[in-house]
Each structure stands twice: as C-alpha cells, then as structure tokens.
Amino acid sequence: MLTHLINGLQLGSIYALVALGYNMVYGIIKLLNFAHGDVIMVGGYIALFALTFGLNPVISALLTVIGCTLLAIIIEKLAYTPLRFAPRLSLLITAIGVSILLQNLAQLFFRAGGRPFPSQLLLPTGSFSLGGVSLAYTSVITILASIVSMILLAVLVKSTKLGKAMRAVSEDQGAAQLMGINVNSIITFTFALGAALAGIGALLYAVRFPLIGPTIGAMLGLKAFVAAVCGGIGSIPGAMLGGYIIGLLEMFIVAAGLSRWVDAVVFLVLICVLMVRPTGFMGRNLMEKV
Amino acid sequence: MRPGDPRAPFIPDRDYDKSPVMQCVGLGIDFGGLTAVDDFNISVGPTEICGLIGPNGAGKTTVFNLLTKVYQPSRGTILINGKDTARLNTIAANKLGLARTFQNIRLFQNMTVLENVLVGLHNEMNYGLTKAIFRLPGYWRAEKIAKERARELLSIFDMEDTANYKAGSLPYGSQRRLEIVRALATNPVILLLDEPAAGMNPAETEELMENIQKINKTFQIAILLIEHDMKLVMGICEGIAALNYGRVIAKGTPAEIQSNPKVIEAYLGTGGGKPDA
Amino acid sequence: MKPFTLPMPARYGINTALLIIFLIVGNAVTQSGMLGRAQNSLIIQIGFFIILAVSLNLMTGYLGQLPLGHAGFMAVGGYAGALFWRAQILPDGASIVVGLLLAGVTAAFVGFLIGIPALRLRGDYLAIITLGFGEIIRVVLNNIDWLTYGARGLQSIPRHSSFTVVYICVIFTCAAIHMLMKSRHGRAILSIRDNEIAAESCGVNTTYYKVMAFAVSAFFAGIAGALYAGNQGILVPANFDFMTSINILMIVVLGGLGSMMGSVIAASILTFLPFVLQPLNEYRMIIYSLLLIIVMIFKPSGLMGNYDFSLSRIIEKVVRRIQKAKGASADETR
C-alpha cells in the first residue's frame, strides 16, 4: 500500500513538473502547447545520448535542461511568435503541427522502437529502509527534486521582478507593454522556464520508465495536461495538486489490476472534474468582457 | 407617486394607463467585493425613448449587461412586459423582447450584411432541421419572407445596396447601423443602444437621431440608449437617468437633468470644464 | 438589362445531371476491372476521407471549435455498422442502408453525450476533452473482447463499400451539410463562430447549436467509419488513434477552414499522394506537419480560404460575359 503511495507520488511529481510548463504557457498566451510533451521526448534522447557517451551525470542533466530550453525557445520564435495576433484556433493547430513534426523527426533519426535508458548512470539504484518501509532512492530523489523545483518556481513568480512581469503579461499584455515590460521577451522567458522544468521532468521520467521512444512525450504530455486542467490552469499549487492526484490515481488503478483501463479512467476523471468545476480545483474564473 | 418610488417614470406627467415594458427594481451586482451597480430602479414606457448617461466607468454598460443577462444580477428584479427575467439567460431575455447593440461592435464579421440581419430573424423563422436539409416548401417560404423582411429593415438606413457585402468590410458608421438593424430584426419590445453615435461625425449623428426617432415611431417600441453625445441625448430622449459610481443620481426630463446640481458635479467634478463627450 | 441568373430548377437540374453522369462513369470504371484492387480501394478511401473531412469542417471551419476525437466517432460508427452487417439479419441492400444509418445514429448519440459537457467549456478544453474521449473509445474497444474481439480485430466484415454506396454517401454528406449551412440553422452556427455573445443576444441558442453541429458531425463520421469497415473487412481499435484524428484535421486545415470544396480537394490529394509517392512515405508526416505550420503562419484560412465552388455561378458569369460582348458588338454596328 505504502509502496503504491510512494510510486504514485513519484509519478505525480513528474506530472506536476510537466503540468507547470503547460500552466505557465497557457497562463501567458492562452495556448495549449501541444509540443510540450515532445520537448520532453527530445530531452529524454539528449539525456540518453549524453549518458551513453559517458558524460558525467550532472553535466548530462544540465545538457538536457539546456537542450529543452533552447528547443522551446526555437519553437516559440519560429512557430508561435508569427501567430501572436492570429486567432487562437490557428495557434492551437500550429502547436499540434509542431508536436507531430518533432515526433516524426525523432522517428526518422532514432527509429520507431524504444531505446533502453541507462538510469543507473544518472541516479543511484537500490533502496533504503525508513521505519520499516523500503524506499527506492530514485523515488525519493524524484519527489524531492520536483518539490524543490516547484518551490523555486513559486519564489521566482511571486517575489522577483521577472515574476511580477510574467504575472502582469498574463493579466493584460497591452497594459504590461505600456508599463515598459518587454512582452516578447517575457513570453520567451516563460517558454524557456517551462521547458527547463520539462527538462528536469524528462530526466525523472526516463529514470522511472527507462525506455525512450519518439512517442513517449505524447501520452506523458497529455496526462500532464489533464493534471494541469484538473488542478486549475494558471495556478502553480493547482498544477502540483493535479499532478499528484493523477499520479496517485494511476498507481491505484494499476494496483487494482486494471492497468488496461488507466488511460480511459484518467480522461474520464478529467471530464468529470470539468463538468463539476470548469476551471479545475484551484483555477480562477475568467470572464469575457462585453 | 413619491420621487423615490421605483415605479417613478422618467417623465413625471406620463400616461400611467400604459404599463411599462421594462421595469427594474433594486437591481445590483457585485464583482468580487466591488459593487459595480447598486439600487438601480427605472421603468420604461412602451414607446418611450430614454437615455442613460454618466461619466466613464459609472456602470452604464454593466446595466445593459444585467438587463440582457450577460451577467446575472446579485439582487433586484427585472420585469419585461411584466414578466420576471430571474434565472433567464441572454437568449431567453432576447425572446422576451430585449434586443441590444454593443459598445465595441460585435457583428458577424465574416458573414454578409444580409446574413447578419437574417441571424437576427433566426427565431422569426421556425422551420426545423429536416425542412432545411431536404429543402421542403416550408424552407423556401420562410426564407423568402425573412429575406424580404431583412431587406425592408436594411432600407431604414438605406443599406439595401450593401446587402451582399461582408459585414466586416463596412465602414465604421455602417457597422453601427447594421447592429441596430440586426437588433431590430429580433422583433424587440425594447431596444438597448450602447453608444450608437460613437465615432460618428455631427452630420451622421444628426441622421442617426432622426433614424432612432423613426424606429421608435414605426415599430412602436421603447428605446433605452447610453450615449456621451449630449446633443443626441438631450435632443431625442423623453426621460434620462444619470448614473455615477453605479448608482442613479438623478432621473427626469432633459431640462431637469441639465440643471440638476448632482449631475453637473458628477460631470464637471468640483473644478470646471466641459462634460466629456 | 438585369444580370443573368439561372432559375432555381435549372441549377438543381444541372448539378443533379452532372452527379448522375459521374456516378455512371465511376461505376463503369470500377466495375470494368480496368483498375487493380489497390486502385479501387484507393477510390473508396478518398470517398470516406471526403466524408470525414467535410463533417469535421462543420465543427472546425463553420462552428470554429477544434474537436480532436473525430477518429473516435469513426470508430463508434465503424463498429456499430460492422457488427450489424456481420449479423446478416437483413437482405444485402436493406442491410447496407440500415447499417449505415445505425452507424451514423450511434455515433451521433455518442457525440451528443460527449458534446453536452464538452461544449459548455471554452475552445481549448473542447480539444482536450474530445481527445480524451477518442482515447477512451479506443481503450474501451480494446477491452471489450466479447463484442469487438479487442486488439485482434473484428474480422470478416461483409465488404459492402462499393463505389456506388460510397459515392452516394459522399454526395449525401456534402449535400446535407451544404443545405444545412444555407439555412437558418447554418447561419446560427456561423454566427457562433464569428461572435458568440452577439449570437446569444440575437436569440440564437448557442449551446443547442453547438451540440447539434457536434452530433451532425459525429453522424457523418460514423457513416464514414462504417464505409471504412466495409472496405477493409477488418477493424482494429489501433486504427482509430489520435493520429487518425490529426490526419483528418490536416485535410480540413489545408483545404481551408469553412470551404467544403477545399475539404473535398484536400481529401482527394492527401489520400492520393502517399499512394503515388511510396518512396517518400518516411517523410510524409514530416512534410504534412511542416505544411500545417507554414499554412497556419502564412495563410491561416487554408489553401481555398472559405471560397466555395458553385457551377451555377460560373455558368452565370460566362453567360453574362457573352451577353456583354454581344451588347458591345450590337452597339458598334449601330
């Protein structure tokens, strides 16, 4: 039971980290960034190659985070910036296009099948015992790493000048611009920040499911988005809450022997949550001005 | 009737035999902790032209949004032709006879002018899906009548010639007029106009004034309008309510409003200068 | 002189005549054995992709919403139709018609159920809910072995998707959606796309029309699913995954949001191209996705925009030009 709980929290931590990326981008330009999951997939490959190349785990991790960040910035500049003032539908379709492009490029370069990820090179394997419960190092490190990342993010958004600018842009782009905030660079920064978290998410995901393939990002991204929506788009604690709920839910469904139904149940939960609380657990109600 | 009575009409010596088409009693709404409109009481007679004035941010458009149920009021009652609109939505309010235009124009930009008016006539036609898909006689009949009616309505503003243009391609003034036509097409008992003269030059405003009066006469409907152009408001409104900080500060005839010290203060502040128009 | 216009019966007459000629020619070609099995199958595929694209266009192009679970409706219809056909309780002709209707109605019903919660929410949530729904359908179909044989696939489905059947379905779909869009119901749908708040203020019941459009769209997707089943002879849940929905969306976007002709042309080309460009198949999705991004950036309305082809309009134009030329020459001789 407790093992499932820890496993669920581990999975939930990964979802929460990825969900934050969705959350921030949605909060700032109202875009459901379909390509976010695929950035994680690319991150997985970077980590895989860095580690098999024999690089130091810390350097590999840094490379992954930097790689994801750069990729997100490139995507934002090339595909999303030209559509800043286009209808939302166009932006959404573009994001889907980017997602499919990344998946198929990965498939072209790295072939369709999954490659085993040498997680033992990144994190210590094994487990320790605490109060009679055996805990895997990887689980504990995953949970701690994600919590630390989220606290740092919360501090950044709440108490720094940059964070204040981000909140201002998400509230009203026009007004923020008039206040002398460089809206374009704030949006790019938001993408970069989300992608950096995705990079960490990629490492933790690869440790948890050590098989990297071109489509790993799609499902992970979707589940994380479900977590973001359930928790409440635009809210950092919401993303955490949503991530842990989905992670725990999945683990318990698997524990109940219904693993074949996991995806269906996750989406069913999403539909139910949205029917009861259209803005998620901790989301704010946005009203259109008439 | 005491002056504070909610049923107090705009014009004190109006014909009381006719019951008002629209009546608001104690209408109010809060956004979060902020009270945007409070204790709003007016009543509009069946063929009255009334005005709602007030400085920017006084809550005039919010009143319109309350009346048309874009926002649900926090308190108070709205009666349309004596029917309570509590718990009704925008669509039902429209069916009861409330039609409106918008401050920031909301046309169906990618549809033609004629189609815009036909959307207004949506509920006037009543053929179902089957009649539409198989083009049964009922479809042809209803479409023919509706198109004739639409052109007739467009002719109020001499817009028949633009019937096949995209609504978004019309000049600004025509877009405002088209919004009025579209609202009229829904066959309202009261028409709410949100700054109909915004962006129009004096000649156009003059023409608009005549047209509003013409609409009022030919369709025998009440009109409630928000406007900053005092010449228009004072020229055609029989009754005016002045709003400030979400509350009615004065009601009366144009002459009474113009000389009301509270209104003057609201517009001029304690300093001086011209009312912002 | 009044500009020349074709009278209404003439327009209908010309279009019907053309459609019948095309049916006879197409039928003759597919029956004659001139084409191989693969080519015949390709023509059928173009047919149901046209239906899928035109029906998705109703949601995306006309209503302005982005559902990502079109393959889910296709699956529902496909399984409903296939199961009915396999049961063989009616003679062939009646079985085809009833099976197709059953496929459509089942899909429409599911669309109705999913539409009520999904359409109460704003655009992007609809995308994610329908996407989730598509996944749910797939998982369910994979797991109810007693009915669908799960991942092994539902086999030996009667091959009912002949050219005539598919062709009639395509024409029926296009005609029905065209007629719908040229009615008060269609205008209501368009008005929601352009400005939802204004539509409500005109008394348009926006929720009703969103759910209705969704159900109609699902209905035709269901029919396409049955046609797919009748062409393949086997149904596997994996065929109805997210990528299938995206393929349909690509057709709609590239063809032009709100252009039926665009959907028809794009469906034909995008189905035909992979067939002739076999060697490029590895790069196909890369090219498509790049195209999708480029089109969105440079021509967001799609290749055809919202232009719609009208034969009558072209005839009218030609006749007017001839009349003008005649009038001019008459002036000269005077």
Residue type, A98: V
Q: Would you place residue C311 in the very low, low, confident or very high pLDDT band (cuts 50, 70, 90)?
A: confident
Q: Is C28 on the interface with A (CB under 8 A)?
A: no
Residue B192's closest chain C neighbor by CA? C201
Tokens 């173009």, located at residue: C46
From chain A, the residues in CB contact with C66 under 8 A are 89, 92-93
CB < 8 Å to A275, chain C: 117, 120
The tokens of B174 are what? 């025509």
* Smallest Cα distance from C132 to chain A, Å: 5
Residues of A in contact with C292 (CB under 8 A): 93-94, 96-97, 100
Q: Tokens 């635009």 appear where?
A: A234
Cα dihedral C52, C53, C56, C61 in deg (nearest 10): -170
Contacts of B144 in chain C (CB under 8 A): none
The chain B residue lying nearest C194, using CA atoms, is B108
Task: Convert the pLDDT of each residue in C236-287 to its tens digit.
Answer: 999 998 889 988 998 998 888 888 888 999 999 888 888 887 777 788 888 8
The answer to whether residues C81 and C225 touch, using CB atoms and an 8 Å cutoff, is: yes
Q: What is the pLDDT of residue C211?
A: 93
Q: What is the SS3 assignment for A264-286?
A: HHHHHHHHHHHHHCCCCCCCCCC
Whether the CB of C120 is below 8 Å from some CB of chain A: the reply is yes
For C91, counting Cβ atoms within 10 Å of its Cβ (0-12 exposed, 13-18 middle, 19+ buried), the class is exposed
Q: For each of the domains in chain A, give its residue range(s) and CATH number, in order of start.
A: 2-120+133-276 (1.10.3470)
Q: What is the pLDDT of residue B208?
A: 92
Whether B7 has a pLDDT exceeding 60, the answer reads no
Whether the Cβ atoms of residue A31 and residue A91 lie closer than 8 Å to each other:
yes
Tell me which amino acid residue C292 is.
L
Name residue C153's amino acid.
G
Our CA-based measurement puts residue A120 at a distance from the nearest CA of chain C, in whole angstroms, of 33
Place of tokens 């009639």: C168
Strands (E), chain A: 115-116, 127-130, 133-136, 211-212
Q: pLDDT over 70 for what percent of chain B?
A: 90
Q: What is the pLDDT of residues C128-149, one digit of tens each?
A: 888 888 889 999 999 888 888 8
CA distance A106 to A102: 6
For residue B49, give the 3-state DSSP assignment.
strand
Q: Which of C119, C6, C131, C11 is nearest to C71 (CA)?
A: C131
In angstroms, how far is CA A94 from the centroid of its own chain? 19
Task: Please tell me whether the interface predicted TM-score (ipTM) of this complex is above 0.90.
Answer: no
Kindly report the average pLDDT of chain A as a whole number. 88
Q: What does the angle CA B127 – CA B131 – CA B136 come to, to the nearest 5 degrees? A: 115
Minimal-distance CA residue of chain A relative to B104: A290
pLDDT digits (tens, 9 = 90+) for C192-238: 999 999 999 999 999 999 999 999 999 999 999 999 999 999 999 99
Q: Which residue of C has its CA nearest to B92?
A: C203
What span, in angstroms and rounded, lies between the C-alpha atoms of B96 and B117? 19
C297 to chain A nearest CA, in Å?
A: 6
* Helix (H/G/I), strand (E/B), else coil: C11: helix
Give strand ranges (E) for A104-228.
115-116, 127-130, 133-136, 211-212
- Of C262, C292, C286, C290, residue with least CA distance to C274: C286
B30 forms beta bridges with B35
The amino acid occupying position B274 is: K
Q: For position A290, what pLDDT does the model report?
A: 60
**Minimal-distance CA residue of chain A relative to C281:** A108
Report which secondary-structure segment, H or E, holds C135.
helix C123-143
Cβ within 8 Å, pair B106-C197: yes
In our burial notation (b when 16+ CB lie closer than 10 A, e otherwise), range B199-208 reads ebeeebbebb
Closest CA to B122 of B156, B104, B155, B99: B99
- Would you call B106 and C306 a contact, using CB atoms and an 8 Å cutoff? no
One-character DSSP codes across C31-96:
HHT-S-HHHHHHHHHHHHHHHHHHHHHIIIIIS----S-HHHHHHHHHHHHHHHHHH--S-HHHHH
What is d(CA C83, CA C89) in angstroms, rounded to the nearest whole number?
11
HSE at residue C209, side-chain half, CA atoms within 13 A, is 29
Q: Is C334 helix (H, G, I), strand (E, B) or coil?
A: coil
* Paired strand residues for B242: B53, B250
Contact A101 C286 (CB under 8 A): yes
Instruction: At C325, give phi and psi (nearest 5°).
Output: -60, -45
Rounded to the nearest angstrom, the minimum Cα separation between A152 and chain C is 29
Taken in order of first residue, the domains within chain C and their CATH numbers are: 38-333 (1.10.3470)
Q: Which helix (H) or strand (E) holds B44?
A: strand B34-44
**Structure confidence by residue, pLDDT tens digits, A44-77:** 999 999 999 888 999 999 999 999 999 999 999 9
B133 and C176 in contact by Cβ < 8 A? yes
Shortest CA distance from B61: residue in chain A: A290
Give the position of tokens 């063809």. C255
Give me the residue from A87, A93, A103 closest to C292, CB to CB: A93
Burial C30-39 (b: 16+ CB within 10 A, else e): beeeeeeeee
Task: Please state, in angstroms and as integers, the Cα–Cα distance from residue A199 to each residue in A203, C104, C171, following that order.
Answer: 6, 44, 50
- Report the range of poorest mean pLDDT among B102-106, C28-32, C330-334: C330-334
- Give phi and psi for B24, each to the nearest 5: -120, 135
Question: Is the CB of B111 inside 8 Å of chain C's CB atoms?
Answer: yes
Euclidean distance between CA atoms B216 and C71, whole angstroms: 53
Q: Which residues pair with B216 in a beta bridge?
A: none
Chains that touch C (3 or more CB pairs under 8 A): A, B
Cβ atoms C114, C102 nearer than 8 A = no
CB C253 within 8 A of CB C293: no
Nearest CA in chain A to B63: A290
Rounded alpha-carbon distances, angstroms, from residue C308 to B111, C10, C29, C64, C312: 14, 19, 28, 17, 12
Banded model confidence at residue C95, pLDDT cuts 50, 70, 90 = very high
Inter-chain CB proximity B119 and C202 less than 8 Å? yes
Query: Which chains does chain B touch, 3 or more C-beta pairs < 8 A?
Result: A, C
Q: Is A257 helix (H, G, I), strand (E, B) or coil?
A: coil
Cross-chain Cβ contact C60/A32 below 8 Å: no
The residues with which B40 forms a beta bridge, in sequence order, are B27
Is A239 or C30 the better-scoring residue by pLDDT?
A: A239
The runs of H, that is alpha helices, within C233-280 are 242-255, 260-276
In chain C, residues with a C-beta closer than 8 Å to the C-beta of B110 are: 190, 193-194, 306
Q: 134-173 in A: which are within 8 Å (CB) of B? A: none
C300–A86 C-beta distance less than 8 A: yes
Q: Which of chain A's residues have a Cβ under 8 Å away from the Cβ of C127?
A: 32, 92
Nearest to C200 among B91, B134, B183 (CB): B91
Pairing of the two strands B83-84 and B34-44: unpaired
Cα C162 to Cα C37, C158, C223, C235, distances in angstroms: 12, 11, 14, 17
Cα C169 from Cα C166, distance rounded (Å):
5
Closest chain B residue to the Cα of C175, Cα to Cα:
B133
In which band, very low, low, confident or very high, does the pLDDT at A157 lie, cut at 50, 70 and 90?
confident
User: What is the per-residue burial (b if ≥16 Cβ within 10 Å, else e) of C151-182?
Assistant: eebbeebbebbbbebbbbbbbebbebbebbbe
What's the burial of B32, exposed, middle or buried (CB within 10 Å: 0-12/13-18/19+)? exposed
For A2-48, the pLDDT digits (tens) are: 788 888 999 999 999 999 988 888 888 888 888 999 999 999 999 99
**B273: confidence class by pLDDT, cuts 50, 70, 90:** very low
Q: Nearest to residue C67, comparing CAs of C197, C252, C293?
A: C252
Q: How close C222 gets to chain B, by Cα (Å)?
A: 19
Is C142 in Cβ contact with A94 (below 8 Å)? no
Instruction: Tell me how close the Cα of B264 comes to any Cα of chain A, in angstroms.
Output: 28
Would you state the structure tokens that stand for residue C98, as one six-digit string?
Answer: 């009833």
pLDDT for the residue numbered B18: 63
Give this prediction's pTM. Answer: 0.89
pLDDT score at C185: 96
Residue B244 bridge partners (DSSP): B247
pLDDT score of A120 more than 60: yes
How far apart are the two ends of chain C, measured CA to CA in Å?
Answer: 18
Alpha-carbon distance values, C205 to A91, A213, C327 (Å): 28, 46, 50
CA-nearest residue to C254 within chain A is A93
Q: Write the CA distances from A262 to A23, B44, B57, C140, C238, integer angstroms.
A: 23, 60, 51, 11, 16
Q: Does A290 touch chain B (CB under 8 A)?
A: yes
Q: How many CB pairs under 8 A join A and C?
A: 115
CA distance C56 to chain A (A): 14
Which among B95, B110, B132 has the least Cβ separation from residue C183? B132
Does the CB of A74 have a partner CB in chain C at under 8 Å?
no
Residue A243: phi, psi to the nearest 5?
-60, -50
What is the helix, strand, coil percentage profile of chain C, to 5? 80, 0, 20
Higher per-residue confidence, C310 vs A155: A155
| Closest CB to A96 among C118, C125, C246 | C246
Whether B16 has a pLDDT exceeding 70, the answer reads no
Model confidence band, residue B49 (pLDDT cutoffs 50, 70, 90): very high
Q: State the average pLDDT over residues B82-98.
A: 91
Which helix (H) or strand (E) covers residue B75, if one does? strand B75-80
